[in-house]
Amino acid sequence: MDANLIIKNAAQLVTCSGFRAKHGSEMADLGVIENGAVVVEGGRIQAVGRSQELLQGMDTAGFEILDASGKAVLPGFVDSHTHFVFGGYRAEEYAWRLRGDSYMDIMQRGGGILSTVHATRTADAQDLVASGRRRLDSMLAFGVTTVEGKSGYGLDRETEIKQLEVMQILGGEHPVDIVPTFMGAHAVPPEYRGREEDYIDFMLDTVMPEIAGRRLAEFCDVFCEKNVFSIGQSRRLLQKARQLGFKLKIHADEIAPIGGTELAAELGAVSADHLLQASDRGLAELARKGVVATLLPGTAFSLKEPYGRGREMIDRGCAVALASDFNPGSCFTESIPLIVALATLCMNIGTEEAITALTINGAAAVDRAETIGSIDPGKQADLIVLEFPSYTYIPYHIGVSTVEKVIKRGMVVFDKFNQKGGGHVC
């Protein structure tokens, strides 16, 4: 599916240029080229520039030509934090939360994550593939070209592996690239209740070595939270994960401020995620160590928790990424426009910063900043074409997707207007 393509006359080519995370004030620089063009060969970006200069005298035989007059072209979005493979839904629990029950109370009563664990354990792998495929189709329509996905709804060997195998199957068949993360330490399963250390030993000694050996996951993540996994338990788990070759992520300081942010910096995690309650010291450490601060405003919104201090994080020099946290409990949305609306309207993050957070910094949060997340020569040609001439329409069209076409490795894989009646995954 690797193609030769020329995109020309883009009203704005929003390059987000760079090969590493952007920190602090760098996040406001989108590297926009007016009347821009991109040359793609074999699915990779070969050249980028102004249309006239780049294409003058060029032999365009063998290239598909896409005229993007009146449209903005950006890198595909990278949704760097999701839990998109799961069985069952929790609409009833959401209704309880709307009536005032808290997320952690429901979890303590054996609902929440554990209810999805039950449904995922009993689900057929084929059904998980089918629902995962539909979810990826939906993400693609929002302009997502790479997604991170976590296990953690099995909490036993078979189901954790089943979830990761489902991602492997989907990665082989779907245009969206999948970055798999092992998150066996998402909750303590009922059969280990009161024996948390034994559960961690089981993960460390039995499950993680097998997953590492079969290369089923690239990252290891842990729900480091009061009444879930403590700092000490998380440290033990992640240290072993690193020895086994996993890169690290942490669900840090989401509900209670217990120091997960500092732990992410101490261990040199690739990202620390959530951070609603992160301390000043924790944020300073993230900035100093270059750990990507991944904010998930959809979750704060859905849980009615205060938003993470995104504005302050950027002002303090952090590299901030934004992601959906798509999951069946705390945040059942894969909507990128919602995330952008929350970031810009509720967190005071600038439009340019939000776009950086969803492109090159999202790529950095999955350790892919050298290959995706910007429109630079040498990178994979994962691009989106907007219906509108400027990236400023992304937040302006509140809660609505402005993405007209999605291009994956130089091929158009989604076209909103290509079929009567709406979008189509090509």
Whole-angstrom Cα distance, residue 333 to residue 384?
Answer: 20
Q: Does 254 bind ligand NIG (CB under 6 A)?
A: yes
Q: Give φ, ψ of 248 to 5 degrees.
A: -115, 145
Residue 224 pairs in a beta bridge with: 229, 252
Whole-angstrom Cα distance, residue 387 to residue 401?
Answer: 9
**End-to-end Cα, the chain, rounded Å:** 12
Question: What is residue 189's three-state secondary structure?
Answer: coil
Q: Does 116 bind ligand NIG (CB under 6 A)?
A: yes
Q: Does 112 bind ligand NIG (CB under 6 A)?
A: yes
The three-point CA angle 254-260-262 to 5° equals: 130
Residue 220 pairs in a beta bridge with: 182, 248
Q: Does 113 bind ligand NIG (CB under 6 A)?
A: yes
Site string for ligand NIG, 64-103 (x = CB under 6 A): -------------------x--------------------
* Residues 351-410 within binding reach of ligand NIG (CB under 6 A): none
Pair 391, 75: CB distance under 8 Å = no
Instruction: Quickly count helices (H) and strands (E) in the chain.
Output: 17, 16
Q: Which stretch binds ligand NIG (CB under 6 A): 45-53, 231-239, 324-332, 379-387?
A: 324-332
Number of residues that bind Fe ion (CB under 5 A): 1
Q: Smallest gap, in angstroms, from Cβ of residue 116 to ligand NIG?
A: 5
Q: Smallest gap, in angstroms, from Cβ of residue 93 to ligand NIG?
A: 9
Q: Which stretch binds ligand NIG (CB under 6 A): 6-14, 69-77, 321-329, 388-396?
A: 321-329
Q: Smallest gap, in angstroms, from Cβ of residue 260 to ligand NIG?
A: 11
Q: Does 251 bind ligand NIG (CB under 6 A)?
A: yes
Burial level of 68, CB count in 10 A (0-12/13-18/19+)? Answer: buried
Nearer to ligand NIG, 116 or 351 (CB): 116
Pair 65, 412: CB distance under 8 Å = no
Q: Does 347 bind ligand NIG (CB under 6 A)?
A: no
Q: Which stretch binds ligand NIG (CB under 6 A): 136-144, 163-171, 322-330, 376-384?
A: 322-330
Interface residue with ligand NIG, options 146, 159, 233, 299 (CB under 6 A): 299
Q: Does 325 bind Fe ion (CB under 5 A)?
A: yes
Q: What is the DSSP string of 136-185?
A: HHHHHHTTEEEEEEE--S--SHHHHHHHHHHHHHHHHHSSSEEEEEEEEE
Interface residue with ligand NIG, options 79, 165, 325, 376 (CB under 6 A): 325
Binding residues for ligand NIG, rule: CB under 6 A, are 83, 112-113, 116, 223, 251, 254, 299, 325, 327-331
Binding residues for Fe ion, rule: CB under 5 A, are 325
